[in-house]
């Protein structure tokens, strides 16, 4: 009798656990979907990568400047999602479904974010306003068709990755630099180089994830032209170009550089064309957020 009751209780507890686990997993899945499909996660990257720029320059992050980059990133990437609906219909139909019926709302939020971002940057440091809109200007130039006979810069393989990498590197390094007194030019150059290589690699990893859809739609990305394996080898070589930087830094900065370079090796080895888009975007876009939290947990930043 007691054994039967025990079995019933055990089955009931197991059922409750499975139900709770499934609900929790579904909730996390919806959350990850929302963060990656919307522009919130990539906007957090803008915030924390700018904070990372301050940290690598040996300074305490200015939260207002980081917030300005957050708002600018949210605005630009939200506008991009509206203009890239045709391409996303193949690679990210879930993103198209999310935007359907919300186009005006997303457009209004985007413009509002850009305006608040500009006002915030101008209030803190006028020079920062010019730097803040480097990605916006670059995006307009490389997405526009200058002449009917010439292709858009966006349609030229590798150009997109260079523009993305350089825009992120310049904004997330120069925004901190112009608000700091006595920022050394050599340190600023090292951080720009580090961020450019990392962001170039990360944008190419996102292309690697979309390689099958890009082939079908005729989009010429690096993985489409070279193939996944050759692309991965090139990315490994690019990341190895960061190793000489370890000879130029010391102390806490050396540990942070090691962590950032090691993380990129892990991404290149673990993510590819068969990776779940949500997982890849969560880790690649959330890299700086997780890095800053880890550095705080290790006591490397205050």
Summarize pLDDT for 286-296 with one digit per residue, the tens: 889 888 888 88
Higher-pLDDT residue of 299, 292: 292
pLDDT value of position 238: 96
Average confidence (pLDDT) over 177-196: 92
Asked which of 12-21, 61-70, 142-151, 203-212 is least confident by mean pLDDT, the reply is 12-21
Asked which of 29-43, 56-70, 278-292 is least confident by mean pLDDT, the reply is 29-43
User: Could you tell me how many residues make up the chain?
Assistant: 302
pLDDT value of position 8: 47
pLDDT value of position 201: 94
Higher-pLDDT residue of 47, 156: 47
pLDDT value of position 237: 96
pLDDT value of position 10: 47
* Whether residue 263 has pLDDT greater than 90: yes
Structure tokens at 224: 């489409």
19 pLDDT band (50/70/90 cuts)? low
pLDDT value of position 106: 72
List of residues 6+ apart from 54 with CB closer than 8 A: 60, 61, 62, 66, 176, 180
CB neighbourhood size of 197 (10 A):
22
Q: Give the range with max mean pLDDT: 52-66, 88-102, 135-149.
A: 52-66
C-beta of residue 87 within 8 angstroms of C-beta of residue 122? no
Summarize pLDDT for 69-118 with one digit per residue, the tens: 999 988 888 877 766 656 655 556 666 666 666 667 777 888 889 999 99
SS (H, E, C) 73-141: HHHHHHHHHHHCHHHHHHHCHHHHHHHCCCHHHHHHHHHHHHHHHHHHHHHHCHHHHHHHCHHHHHHHH
9 pLDDT band (50/70/90 cuts)? very low
Domain ranges of the chain: 56-297
CA-to-CA separations, 253 to 58, 67, 69, in angstroms, rounded: 8, 24, 23
Closest residue by Cα to residue 171 from 201, 154, 144, 191: 191
Residue reference for tokens 């919307």: 38
Average confidence (pLDDT) over 7-30: 54
**Residue 249, φ and ψ in degrees, nearest 5:** -125, 165
Summarize pLDDT for 46-56 with one digit per residue, the tens: 999 999 999 99
Q: Give the range with max mean pLDDT: 63-67, 139-143, 153-157, 296-300.
A: 63-67
CB environment 33-66: b (16+ within 10 A), e (fewer): eebbbbbbbbbbbbbbbbbbbbbbbebebbeebb
pLDDT value of position 227: 86
64 pLDDT band (50/70/90 cuts)? very high
Helices 63-83 and 159-178: angle between axes, nearest 10 degrees: 160
pLDDT value of position 2: 46
Average confidence (pLDDT) over 144-156: 67
CB neighbourhood size of 257 (10 A):
21
Average pLDDT taken over every residue of the chain = 80
Average confidence (pLDDT) over 110-138: 86
C-beta of residue 236 within 8 angstroms of C-beta of residue 266? no
pLDDT value of position 5: 47
147 pLDDT band (50/70/90 cuts)? low
pLDDT value of position 88: 57
């Amino acid at each position: 009798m007691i054994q039967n009751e025990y079995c019933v209780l055990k089955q009931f507890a197991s059922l409750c656990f499975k139900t709770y686990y499934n609900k929790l997993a579904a909730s996390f899945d919806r959350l990850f979907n929302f963060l990656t499909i919307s522009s919130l996660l990539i906007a957090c990257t803008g915030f924390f990568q700018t904070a990372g720029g301050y940290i690598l320059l040996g300074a305490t992050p200015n939260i207002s400047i980081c917030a300005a980059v957050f708002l600018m990133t949210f605005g630009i990437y939200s506008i991009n999602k509206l203009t890239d609906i045709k391409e996303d219909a193949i690679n990210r139909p879930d993103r198209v479904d999310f935007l359907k019926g919300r186009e005006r709302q997303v457009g209004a939020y985007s413009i509002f974010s850009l305006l608040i971002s500009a006002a915030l940057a101008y209030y803190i440091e006028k020079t920062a306003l010019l730097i803040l809109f480097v990605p916006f200007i670059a995006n307009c130039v490389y997405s526009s068709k200058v002449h009917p006979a010439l292709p858009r810069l966006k349609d030229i393989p590798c150009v997109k990755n260079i523009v993305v990498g350089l825009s992120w590197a310049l904004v997330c390094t120069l925004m901190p630099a112009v608000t700091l007194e006595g920022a050394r030019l050599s340190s600023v150059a090292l951080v720009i180089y580090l961020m450019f290589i990392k962001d170039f690699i990360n944008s190419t990893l996102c292309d690697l994830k979309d390689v099958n859809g890009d082939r079908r739609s005729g989009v010429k990305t690096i993985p489409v032209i070279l193939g996944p394996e050759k692309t991965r080898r090139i990315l490994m070589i690019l990341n190895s170009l960061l190793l000489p930087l370890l000879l130029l830094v010391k102390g806490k900065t050396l540990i942070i550089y090691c962590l950032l370079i090691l993380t990129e090796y892990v991404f290149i080895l673990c993510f590819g064309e068969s990776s779940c888009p949500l997982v890849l975007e969560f880790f690649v876009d959330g890299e700086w957020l997780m890095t800053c939290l880890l550095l705080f947990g290790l006591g490397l930043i205050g």
